[in-house]
Chains A and B, each alone.
Chain A
Amino acid sequence: MIEPFILFKVAGATYAVRSSQVQSIEMVEAITPVPNTPEFVEGIVSLRGKVAPVISLRRRFNFEAVPNDLRSRLVVIHMEGRTIALAVDEAREFVRLDTGSILPPPETLAGPQMRYLEGVISQENGLLLVIKLSELFDIQEKQALSEPL
């Protein structure tokens, strides 16, 4: 089945997320830090009057954090009644992909982000990592809840 996806980059790797789950893509403006939250929470932003948390995917995936720059974007996800902005290095492309070509992630790939992968798609210019958002949301919530304030 052909589905539209949004592509974004974090620490050199390209990730894909179903565009049906993406509410919008925003420039990074002032993010207000929130104390006593998990380290991967950068803070909150206002999205058309609604307050949403910003998750740094770099920190989430244990990459070195870098300051946001002009190419940084917020990929705003709306799912299960929650709105969460994912801070990524850049996000531009909108592509149509055949979901039939999604392969399970290779065993040799390691790293904490493996948990959040639905699979990979091989392309001429490299691998696309397809994000499994439900897992991302779910685990984040459990961790956040179990963390002491």
Chain B
Amino acid sequence: MTTPASQEFLQDFLSEVSDHLLSIGQNLLTLEQTLKPGEPPEEALQNPVYVEDLLRSFHTIKGLSSMMGLEQAAELSHALESLLRLILNNETELNLEIIDHMLQGQNLLQRLVNTLADNAGGDPGLQAEMASLTAMLRSANPGAGRPGASASASAPIPQTAVRSPVAPVPLPISLPGALADSLSEADRSKLLSALWSGQRLGLAIFTPTPEKSALGMNVNEIRRRFQNEGNLIKAAPLISENTVRFAFLVAFPADFVPPQKDEVEWSFPTGDQPLEIGPVPAIPPSAGAARPGKSGQAGSLPLASALPGSLVRVDLLRLEELVRMVGELVVCNSRLKELLPQLKGAPQPALDAFSQTLNGLDSTLRVLRQATISTRMVPLSEVFATMPLAIRELARASGKEVHLKVDGENTQVDRLLVERLLEPLLHLVRNAITHGIETPDERAAAGKPRVGRLSISGEAQGEWVVIQVEDDGQGIDTSAVAAQARRLGLLQEDESLTPADLLDLITRPGFTTRPEASLAAGRGIGMNVVMRSVRALHGNLSLSTRPGLGTRFTLRLPLTLTLMNAIVVSCSGERYAIPLNMVDELIEIVPARVISVESGELYPHREQAVTLVRLADLFHLESRPPEADARPVSSRTTHLLYGLVSSEGENRIALVVDRLEGMREVVVRPIPDPLIAQPAIAGATELGDGTLLLIVDILALVETYRQGRKETTP
């Protein structure tokens, strides 16, 4: 708790990579099963989904590793990714030997994670083992050197930036030579994130003497002391002539001051002030940037400055359960209120007392609900803060200059959201720098400032948080995308590219206009990861790009994921809950005014044509008129329907249902089982009587519908 930012940064990296390693292991074992004798090997080919998943996981690990400066891990993941691409393209056949190599790679990466996680001395030989596996993978698969398959052989990336094992980032401080030399990649990353998060870096030199030793002051004692007082980044012996001294590099909280009399000699490489780390010409520290340093700490992380004793670490799962239970209470309470009118016959005084108590309960619950939800809320800066470091690495690796501007990092969002945002944001940022922003020379030639601008912003809008990643680069070459799409048969010759098509295409797994992939991007995986992450959070992604001027990606995500207001609708006798934040307005649909066109149905509304999408069709429900509708059967086609209008980008869509039943607060229960999980269903909610109601994600539903239509109409 004393060094929250740097620990959290490393923790994010570790937990993200661990998750991917876990799924890699599972996928590999599944594939291995299908290859074992007795099972037809075709099975594996019929399930390229496993290979795609593996590809995505290694791709992400690659990105995260190079961001953390873990070159060897990035190289290894890159080699594995190349191999998987060959398999996906049917250029190499998957066999048990390959699976074995991949498991070996997974194992090495896991060891790396373990080493970093327990902050221990390290795993000697690990780097060498990773290097030798990487080399073996490359030589065993000559195909990995083909253009488009791998960048490692032809290496179109600047060698110094990514591959050189020494000094990937110049340290902004000077250290004794022996200490600086002994810093591993992980140590350097720790050091940089400590600096950058506003901690005070102390260098303590301990000279052992027999007298000190007699008093119990030895190296182990000192080491233990610093592990307690701060975050021990590195301990190394300094040997000169015939004395041995020990150097301890420790990150302390910004206000750390060493004792007047101490058993060690102190120096502070960053001076007396806790650093303005100056990073990098590429990222001038912009005002209000997402640096939870001195100023950020006060504003966005008020708790971090509180006394350590007043903080309690709580398991997120327990917190989630707590929020759910409070949610259930809210639901019970509203059910009690619904039941109140049924007590009409009761004596008036009892009834009054009852309803008074109910009102009291109501207001207490409101406060309780707000308080519980807020325990889960954290500022966006927790994820934004990891961006400058990533951007610096990427900019350096691609020889570009980038100025980062961060806005709205104090926006409070659900903790879970912040965790799941890291990956898609990294991909977007990586795309902006590798594909969007031009080199300084190209920019100058185009009459733009040499330094590219990248902005990341977050803003709460109602029950949504809107996150934008915008660059002022060259924009997406839509004609190249269209050409590639025609080549792949995804777009007809005479068809032009709509903005929705563009987003569809670039988020397709494996879609890329780049002939060569690089370590950073270009394999067409990243945008697919972004889309999947956004979908998994029941949000949506949109894109606007202008040639020569830049590209902007907008992520719209729900602020909280457990409790929401929903509209209950009925359709063909089934009831569904629809999150209120996905609905712009409710309209009545007069069947006579529906316009049938070749591609579907349109409805005039506010001088616009709204596309009608019938829930009964999408859910394959037998169409039947609402029972309560008293009209004669003959007027079946004229009964009123209701539409819930939702805008998806520029398209306005009305989801057509039979009836609106009312609004209620619902507690979202996830539906994790693969038998029923699907993007269009955001979860289920329990009604007071124990029955479940499905929560429908309109945006995902409409997306599924659009995809389905595209595939069936040639």
Per-residue CB proximity of B663-690 to A under 8 Å, as 1/0? Answer: 0000001110111101011011010001
> CA separation between A58 and B413, bound complex, in Å?
46
> CA separation between A51 and B686, bound complex, in Å?
9
Is the C-beta of A29 less than 8 angstroms from some C-beta in chain B? yes
Chain B residue numbers with a CB within 8 Å of A149 are 678, 704
Chain A residue numbers with a CB within 8 Å of B673 are 52-53, 82-84
Docked-complex contact A141 and B619, CB < 8 angstroms: no
Docked-complex contact B671 and A44, CB < 8 angstroms: yes
Docked-complex contact B675 and A41, CB < 8 angstroms: yes
Q: A30-B691, A145-B49 are in contact. Are A36 and B675 (CB under 8 A)?
A: no
> CA separation between A46 and B46, bound complex, in Å?
34
Q: A35-B618, A36-B620, A149-B704 are in contact. Are A53 and B675 (CB under 8 A)?
A: yes
Docked-complex contact A45 and B324, CB < 8 angstroms: no
Is the C-beta of B621 less than 8 angstroms from some C-beta in chain A? yes
Q: A37-B676, A145-B674 are in contact. Are A32 and B691 (CB under 8 A)?
A: yes
Per-residue CB proximity of B345-363 to A under 8 Å, as 1/0? Answer: 0000000000000000000
Determine the interface band of chain B, counting residues with CB < 8 A from chain A: 20 to 34
Distance in angstroms from B112 CB to nearest chain A CB is: 26
Docked-complex contact A33 and B574, CB < 8 angstroms: yes
Distance in angstroms from B329 CB to nearest chain A CB is: 13
Chain B residue numbers with a CB within 8 Å of A53 are 673, 675-676
Docked-complex contact A32 and B675, CB < 8 angstroms: no
Count A interface residues, CB 8 Å: 29
Minimum CB distance partner of B325 in chain A: A49
Distance in angstroms from A27 CB to nearest chain B CB is: 11
Is the C-beta of B319 less than 8 angstroms from some C-beta in chain A? no
Question: Which of A33, A35, A37, A84 has the most chain B CB atoms closer than 10 A to its own CB?
Answer: A35
Is the C-beta of A38 less than 8 angstroms from some C-beta in chain B? yes
Docked-complex contact A35 and B620, CB < 8 angstroms: yes
Minimum CB distance partner of B681 in chain A: A34
Is the C-beta of A121 less than 8 angstroms from some C-beta in chain B? no
Docked-complex contact B675 and A141, CB < 8 angstroms: yes
Minimum CB distance partner of A141 in chain B: B674
Docked-complex contact B684 and A35, CB < 8 angstroms: no
> CA separation between A34 and B620, bound complex, in Å?
10
Chain A residue numbers with a CB within 8 Å of B46 are 146
> CA separation between A149 and B700, bound complex, in Å?
13
Distance in angstroms from B613 CB to nearest chain A CB is: 14
Chain B residue numbers with a CB within 8 Å of A35 are 618-621
Distance in angstroms from B318 CB to nearest chain A CB is: 14
> CA separation between A98 and B670, bound complex, in Å?
40
> CA separation between A140 and B704, bound complex, in Å?
23
Docked-complex contact B675 and A37, CB < 8 angstroms: yes
> CA separation between A144 and B47, bound complex, in Å?
13
> CA separation between A26 and B678, bound complex, in Å?
26
Is the C-beta of B693 less than 8 angstroms from some C-beta in chain A? yes
Supplied contacts A30-B691, A41-B675, A146-B46, 5 more A-B pairs, CB within 8 Å: A29-B691, A34-B694, A46-B691, A51-B683, A145-B49
List residues of A whose CB falls within 8 A of some B CB. 29-30, 32-38, 41, 44-46, 49-53, 55, 82-84, 140-142, 144-146, 149
9 A-B residue pairs with Cβ-Cβ distance under 8 Å, sorted by A, are: A32-B694, A36-B619, A36-B620, A45-B692, A46-B691, A46-B692, A55-B675, A144-B674, A145-B674
